[in-house]
Amino acid sequence: MSTVVSALPPRNTPTERATSEAPLLQWANGKLELAVNADDPKPRFFSGQAGFFTETGIHAELDQFCGRYQVPSLLVRHARSGGPAKIVRHWNLGEEIGFVPITSGPVRTSVAASLRSPAHERTAAAGIGLRWPEQGHDGRKGRSRMAVRGYLVLQTAGARQMFTVPMSLTAHSLMTDYLLAALVEQAAVCAIAERIWGRPAGSVNCYDLRLPLGPGEEIKLSNQAGDSTTLTPFRSLHPATGTGADGRPLTSVEDWAAYLPTVRCPEGLSRLVSRDWPAAERAARDFSFPPQAGRADTGMPPAREESSEVDPPAPEPF
């Protein structure tokens, strides 16, 4: 055994990513090859499946949470050029989840407008990471990427369970449009809540309500060669995009007054947001721009503002 050199720090244990990073919350849009029979000696992989998933073995508390509530696992097969496919085990979170976003919400309603200055800086300051590099790591044309931190909520055994460690909900390419649209809708429902509850404008923030997410309508894409593929995006399941549980649109004050308590977060959640906001803001800024020195942290996300393509108009009465 070699002599210990006291001037050196302890030996590092290499990991896939920093243990301080938020675990990734991802959406399978039908292109990935998944095997839901993860424990089968010969798992069968299929594409065309949609749902949320997160990698196992990355975050001990997340593994404990999923194990406690008997979340099943699945395998994802990642093709690699010049080598065998990489198979990774993930927690299968299902097609529908709840998500409590730690953000004050979008400032623009489209990805393109959100990337223009000064909206890009304001978007990052709101806790939403967004970038569109000219070139990807593989040398191909860059694709838009987006990430926002929040708390996962699962429906298990007739009750909702919240994982109170922030996760990073990520999207790239076309899916960034759908993630942004879901956050825009979350802000719109917050504005409705203010009117129903008689609150001042901007006082109900995006983290005060649970954002229900699930599959949207399938979309068919074609390339220049004529090849086509079908994808399933995720979307907000707030009734602002559809109907209530009984199939009727929520158009009246009474309808919304009955719905909002079902997505309202516990009062004590603000303490968690206060704890986790500085890291969420730093992550959003670092995701969008190179790290900056000397940046001051704030205690909580700024007040939610109306998102628009231009300067926000005055809110209309309900």
Q: What are phi and psi of 9, to 5 degrees?
A: -75, 170
Residues 106 and 54 in one domain: no
Residues 88 and 101 in one domain: no
Domain boundary, last residue among 94, 110, 128 = 94
Residue 29 burial (CB count, 10 A): 25
Specify the number of domains making up the chain: 2
Residue 89 to residue 91: CA distance in whole angstroms: 7
Residue 153 to residue 96: CA distance in whole angstroms: 10
**Domain-located, residue 110:** yes
Sign of CA dihedral 54, 57, 62, 64: positive
pLDDT computed for residue 16 by the predictor: 53
pTM of the predicted structure, to 2 decimals: 0.82
Are 318 and 196 within 8 A, CB to CB?
yes
Residue 253 to residue 246: CA distance in whole angstroms: 16
User: Taking Cα atoms as reference points, which of 54, 102, 85 lies closest to residue 209?
Assistant: 102
Structure tokens at 28: 């399978």
Distances (CA, A) of 8 to 3, 5, 11, 12, 19: 12, 6, 8, 11, 22
Domain boundary, last residue among 56, 79, 94 = 94
**Domain-located, residue 308:** no
Cα dihedral 238, 278, 132, 205, rounded to 10, equals 20
Residue with tokens 């010969």: 42
**Domain-located, residue 314:** no
Structure tokens at 261: 């308590």
Q: Return per-residue pLDDT of the chain as tens, 318 residues.
A: 555 555 666 665 565 554 457 999 999 988 888 888 778 888 888 777 899 999 999 999 999 999 999 999 999 987 777 778 788 999 999 999 999 999 999 999 999 999 999 999 999 999 999 998 765 555 667 789 999 999 999 988 778 999 999 999 999 999 999 999 999 999 999 999 999 999 999 999 999 999 999 999 988 876 766 677 888 999 999 986 555 555 556 667 888 999 999 999 998 899 999 999 999 999 999 999 955 433 444 455 666 666 655 433 333 332
Note down the domain range covering 82.
24-94
Q: What are phi and psi of 313, to 5 degrees?
A: -80, 170
**Domain-located, residue 10:** no
**Domain-located, residue 296:** no
Are 48 and 28 within 8 A, CB to CB?
no
Residues 171 and 273 in one domain: yes
Residues 45 and 113 in one domain: no
pLDDT computed for residue 302 by the predictor: 65
**Domain-located, residue 28:** yes
**Domain-located, residue 68:** yes
Domain boundary, last residue among 94, 114, 145 = 94
Residues 90 and 104 in one domain: no
Residue with tokens 């800086």: 121
**Domain-located, residue 206:** yes
pLDDT computed for residue 250 by the predictor: 64
Residues 86 and 176 in one domain: no
